[in-house]
């Protein structure tokens, strides 16, 4: 049994799928790709049991066969080759694979395809569709706010919430919270589930830069993302997401409007002079000028800057992490941002200054409580 594939096309596809290949897996077969050859097409599957991804490339073939191929070895080999046709000859009796290029012949040992785990199916699940650019915005806007605390599993992923005609994607690590919402996506039933951030990182690396639809199907345990020739099935996080709505202040009457790039640049400079455990900066708001200061007492470092702004509210001093606030400003794409405040001990709400008709980005940042000076 044999097939012929383009070395560069195969390498690109395997590299994309390698994000879900198990590394140092307890089950050795998880360190393999499943190759399923049909006339004219090669279907490739990778899995770590939690997440499975499948895609395909065109090949020259007249027969059908299935075999598991060692992932690291085949990728490392293809990286050393210039673009050329590679012939795979498979011996089904012993699972040996002979590769033939214009330079020579190479033999690797495969495994029987029957040992490779079956790809999970999402049965009788709800469906929703949206443009690939929406998913790209979701990942860009929320992923940085997820937690690494495995003791709270739901916070290590992103909440997908469909409710009251709006789709919300929410991420939080207790210090910062991000909610990206859209009102232009049609769905049938209110529902919610949490997708692991590792899955979204894998998706980020394979999403195409073209106008295509993502078909999302989800059930109680699994979700499936389908676009172009990719299918990704993941296990959802089985943990209740926090009631994030109660984190938003009932009222934030004071509004700071400021140039995003100027504030972001200032925060990056201030971070160099701040305490490296908290990255605290102090924002002093008065009139139409923002005073930003930072201090690292241990090394006698300090810095101060003034920025023009529009501020509607009473004079206030509030402390934030320069690193966290900078991360939030980094995902906003408008010229100006708004920071809504109530008091120094209450969170700030960061939003783009220019509202969009169909989408909304709202970010919440907990302050660093300022200690009184004596």
Q: Under CATH, which number does the domain 249-365 receive?
A: 3.10.150.10
> For the purposes of burial, counting CB atoms within 10 Å of the CB of 372, is it exposed (0-12), middle (13-18) or buried (19 or more)?
exposed
Q: What percentage of the chain has pLDDT greater than the value 70?
A: 98
pLDDT in tens, 330-372: 999 999 999 999 999 999 999 999 988 899 999 999 999 875 5
Residue 355 has a pLDDT of 80
Say whether pLDDT at 373 is over 70. Answer: no
DSSP letters, 55-78, are: EEEE-B-SS-EEEEEEHHHHHHHH
DSSP letters, 111-174, are: B-GGGSPPPP---S-EEEEEEHHHHHHHHHHHGGG----TTSGGGGEEEEEEETTEEEEEEE-S
Domain boundaries defined on the chain: 2-115, 126-163+186-245, 249-365
* Torsional sign, CA 180, 184, 190, 195: negative
137: confidence class by pLDDT, cuts 50, 70, 90: very high
Q: Matching CATH topology for 2-115 and 249-365? A: yes
pLDDT in tens, 8-58: 999 999 999 999 997 777 899 999 999 999 999 999 999 999 999 999 999
Residue 103 has a pLDDT of 85
- Separation between Cα atoms, residue 292 and residue 270, nearest integer Å: 8
pLDDT in tens, 157-206: 999 999 989 999 999 999 999 999 999 999 999 999 999 999 999 999 99
For residue 131, give every residue at least 6 positions away whose Cβ sits within 8 Å of its Cβ, in sequence order, or none. Answer: 211, 212, 213, 214
Helices (H), the chain: 7-17, 71-79, 132-142, 197-206, 260-271, 322-330
- Within a 10 A sphere around the Cβ of 232, how many other Cβ atoms? 23
Q: Under CATH, which number does the domain 126-163+186-245 receive?
A: 3.10.150.10
Residue 247 per-residue DSSP state:
G
Pairing of the two strands 166-172 and 157-163: antiparallel
Query: In CATH terms, is domain 2-115 a member of 3.40.640.10?
Result: no
Question: What does the buried/exposed string (b/e) look like for 266-283 if buried means 16 or more CB atoms within 10 Å of the residue's CB?
Answer: bbeebbebbbeeebbbbb
Q: Does the predicted TM-score (pTM) go above 0.85? A: yes
Query: What is the arithmetic mean of pLDDT over 274-278?
Result: 93
Which residue, 307, 321, 316, is CA-closest to 253? 316
In order of 43, 56, 72, 89, 92, the CA distances from 37 in angstroms are 6, 10, 20, 12, 13
Start-to-end CA span in the chain (Å): 82
Which residue, 238, 245, 213, 242, is CA-closest to 226? 213
- Separation between Cα atoms, residue 119 and residue 44, nearest integer Å: 11
Residue with tokens 């690797």: 108
pLDDT in tens, 239-273: 999 999 999 998 999 999 999 999 999 999 999 99
């Amino acid at each position: 049994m044999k097939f012929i594939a383009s070395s560069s096309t195969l390498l690109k596809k395997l590299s994309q799928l390698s994000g879900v290949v198990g590394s140092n897996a307890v089950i050795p077969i998880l360190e393999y790709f499943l190759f399923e050859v049909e006339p004219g097409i090669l279907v490739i599957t990778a899995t770590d049991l939690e997440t499975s991804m499948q895609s395909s490339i065109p090949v020259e073939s007249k027969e059908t066969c299935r075999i598991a191929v060692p992932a690291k070895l085949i990728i490392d080999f293809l990286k050393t080759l210039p673009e050329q046709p590679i012939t795979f000859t498979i011996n089904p009796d012993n699972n040996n694979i002979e590769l033939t290029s214009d330079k020579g012949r190479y033999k690797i040992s495969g495994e029987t395809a029957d040992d490779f785990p079956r790809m999970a199916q999402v049965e009788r699940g709800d469906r929703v569709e949206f443009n690939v650019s929406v998913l790209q915005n979701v990942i860009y806007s929320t992923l940085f706010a997820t937690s690494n605390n495995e003791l709270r599993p739901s916070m290590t992923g992103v909440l997908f919430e469909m409710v009251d005609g709006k789709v919300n994607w929410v991420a939080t690590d207790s210090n910062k919270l991000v909610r990206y919402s859209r009102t232009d996506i049609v769905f049938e039933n209110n529902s919610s589930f949490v997708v692991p951030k590792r899955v979204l990182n894998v998706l980020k690396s394979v999403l195409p830069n073209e106008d295509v639809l993502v078909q999302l199907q989800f059930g109680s345990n699994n979700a499936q993302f389908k676009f172009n020739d990719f299918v990704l099935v993941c296990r959802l996080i089985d943990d209740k997401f926090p009631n994030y709505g109660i984190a938003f202040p009932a009222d934030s009457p004071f509004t700071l409007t400021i140039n995003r790039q100027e504030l972001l640049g200032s925060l990056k400079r201030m971070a160099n002079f701040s305490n490296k455990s908290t990255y605290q900066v102090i924002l002093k708001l008065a009139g139409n000028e923002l005073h930003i200061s930072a201090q690292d007492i241990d090394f006698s470092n300090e810095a101060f800057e003034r920025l023009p702004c529009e501020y509607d509210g009473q004079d206030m001093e509030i402390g934030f992490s320069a690193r966290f606030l900078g991360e939030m400003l980094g995902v906003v794409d408008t010229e100006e941002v708004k920071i809504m405040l109530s008091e120094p001990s209450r969170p700030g709400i960061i939003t783009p200054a220019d509202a969009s008709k169909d989408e909304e980005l709202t970010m919440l940042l907990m302050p660093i409580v300022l200690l009184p000076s004596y």
